[in-house]
Amino acid sequence: MLLEEICVSVGILLLGLIAFLAVKAEKNDQNPYRNIKGKKLKSSIFYVLIHMKKRIIPKLSKEKTDTLKKIYPGKGIEEIYYLLGERMLLLGFSVVMLGMLLAVGSGLVTPAMNLIQGYYLKRDVATGQKRYVDVVAKAGKHQQEITIPVLPEQYSEKERKKKFREAKQYIERNYLGGNKSENQIISSLNLMTTIPKSAVSVTWSSSDPSVIKEDGTLLATDCQEAVVIELVAVIRYRKRTESISKTVVVLPVQKTKERLFWEQWQEQFAQNEKASNTTKYLFLPEQVGKQKVSYQEKVRQWSSTILLLTCILLLLVPFREGKKLQSAMIKREKQLKMDFPEMIERFTLLVEAGLSVKGAWLRITQEYEKREEKNKVHYVYEEMILVAREMENGMSEAKAYELFGKRTGLLPYMKFSTLLVQNLKKGTTDLIRLLDFEVEDAFHERRENAKVLGEEAGTKLLFPMMLMLSIVFALILYAAFQSM
């Protein structure tokens, strides 16, 4: 009892640790823009892995590197490696811990019998087994531990007759085994002792057990003449019995060397069993003729299966990260489309108010950095912050705006960056008018995107609606059948 309590306590602690690591990994995934101090980065194992990437971390292609930089704007490749490596390590460690917990717990968990309403013990179905349940009975000052036998349900007379008919039909269909006809028996018969999905049992008797044993094994297959055997099957359920008889003809068949070998093994095993029936151990035949025999117990290893599944899950962690990057790119593109009208409208208003293009740009980035809900990242403003830093580091405005349009990769942003570059190079006088046109087009595009998102949401709701409809139909049919 104490061991079970300790195991349960350790299991709860491990599950709590696994949940904490999974939540932390997900939290890091949702907030990938947190600042990483250089000391923490250099002291981490990922920093060592990054500088050994020729051996451990495969070199990424330019396309994948550009994708990572788009998802994590403003981050260096070492910081991105750190973020991805930290999350993958946490997820991998969670998978390993869960696999170890399941592997250990698979040998400790045992099914429990619940006492219903304090007085009822549920029986097994008629095909079930007799069970024993330990209970503690209390009456005032009296207390006693009692082992109660719980018998399975019993068939009624009507059900018994039905099961007997089904048993006879099943015997007729299957007793020949692999033989084609009862007049051409050349291999062992299928003399079953139980009927599937039934509590009915069957016992057999043979008119010549030296030819066909009671379990259907064919022994005298090297006989010179055909042998007629009478088989009797007794169908039994508790004290009620019925019998049917079958006549079969066994044809002479020459035995193979392998079959003769295993028949010799059976004979020697029977001798060993008879000689050791009063001892604690049964000795298996060590040698048959001149052939030495060895044995190995066949055991179902659930722990190895669970550990194998754990390894498979670990291999799927990088695949999951790749899928997450793909979904992040799709989310980034949708967010950029939805945020463009708001961004360009604010930019236009600031320019109309008298600010320069660079001043309006910096004003928008400063307002974004000061806002309180920093946990929700907007890619357009992160890209604008990156442009501001590039200009602070000495890059020309035109080059920074041009790279901004290329990094976003969307037509509205590329047109917007082109307008800004042309304004700097050629001194466009009607910049505000052109920006007003872009604002109008942007809001028109936003309405179209909203319609598309509404249609997608309606499509996603179809499955829950169909599921609810199926549940309603099932309830109606259940009520209808219950009233019949």
pLDDT (tens digit per residue) in 141-180: 777 777 878 777 788 888 888 888 888 889 888 888 888 8
Cα–Cα distance, 356 to 350 (Å, whole number) = 8
Helices and strands, number each (H, E), in the chain:
14, 7
Residue 49: is its pLDDT beyond 60?
A: no
| 472 contact partners, CB below 8 Å, separation of at least 6 | none
- What's the CA dihedral at 188, 191, 197, 198 to 10 degrees? 180
Band (pLDDT 50/70/90 cuts) for residue 2 is very low
Cα–Cα distance, 341 to 350 (Å, whole number) = 14
SS3 letters for 405-419? HHHHCCHHHHHHHHH
Per the prediction, the chain carries an average pLDDT of 75
Cα–Cα distance, 417 to 390 (Å, whole number) = 15
Which of 10 and 207 is assigned the larger pLDDT?
207
Q: Residue 348 in contact with residue 436, Cβ under 8 Å?
A: yes
For the four alpha carbons of 424, 428, 433 and 439, in that order, the dihedral sign comes to negative
Cα–Cα distance, 211 to 229 (Å, whole number) = 8
Q: Residue 11 in contact with residue 101, Cβ under 8 Å?
A: yes
257-297 residue pLDDT tens:
777 788 788 888 888 888 877 777 777 888 888 888 887 76
Burial tier of 474 (Cβ tally within 10 Å: 0-12, 13-18, 19+): exposed
Q: Where are the beta strands (DSSP E) in 219-366?
A: 227-237, 240-250, 287-288, 291-292
Cα–Cα distance, 97 to 79 (Å, whole number) = 27
| 238 contact partners, CB below 8 Å, separation of at least 6 | 154
Q: Residue 253 in contact with residue 179, Cβ under 8 Å?
A: no
Q: Kindly state the DSSP code that residue 198 receives in the 8-state scheme.
A: S
Q: Residue 198 in contact with residue 163, Cβ under 8 Å?
A: yes
351-372 residue pLDDT tens:
888 888 888 888 888 888 887 5
188-191 contacts, C-beta under 8 A, 24 or more apart: 188/216, 188/217, 188/218, 189/216, 189/218, 189/231, 189/248, 190/216, 191/215, 191/216, 191/231, 191/233
Q: Nearest to residue 171, comparing CAs of 252, 253, 236, 125?
A: 236
51-85 residue pLDDT tens:
444 444 455 566 666 676 667 776 666 676 666 66
85-126 residue pLDDT tens:
666 777 777 777 777 777 666 655 444 555 676 667 777 777
**326 to 25, 71, 97, 332: CA distances (angstroms):** 18, 10, 28, 10
410-441 residue pLDDT tens:
888 888 888 888 888 776 567 778 888 888 88
Residue 316 confidence (pLDDT): 82
Q: Amino acid identity of 403?
A: L
Q: Residue 310 in contact with residue 302, Cβ under 8 Å?
A: no
Band (pLDDT 50/70/90 cuts) for residue 298 is low
Cα–Cα distance, 312 to 323 (Å, whole number) = 17
Residue 178 confidence (pLDDT): 83
Q: Amino acid identity of 472?
A: V
Q: Kindly state the DSSP code that residue 56 receives in the 8-state scheme.
A: S
Q: Amino acid identity of 63?
A: E
Which of 7 and 469 is assigned the larger pLDDT?
469
Band (pLDDT 50/70/90 cuts) for residue 330 is confident
Residue 246's DSSP bridge partners are 231
Band (pLDDT 50/70/90 cuts) for residue 17 is low
Cα–Cα distance, 278 to 301 (Å, whole number) = 32
For the chain, the C-alpha Rg in angstroms (whole number) is 39
- The encoded tokens of residue 382 equal 């992160």
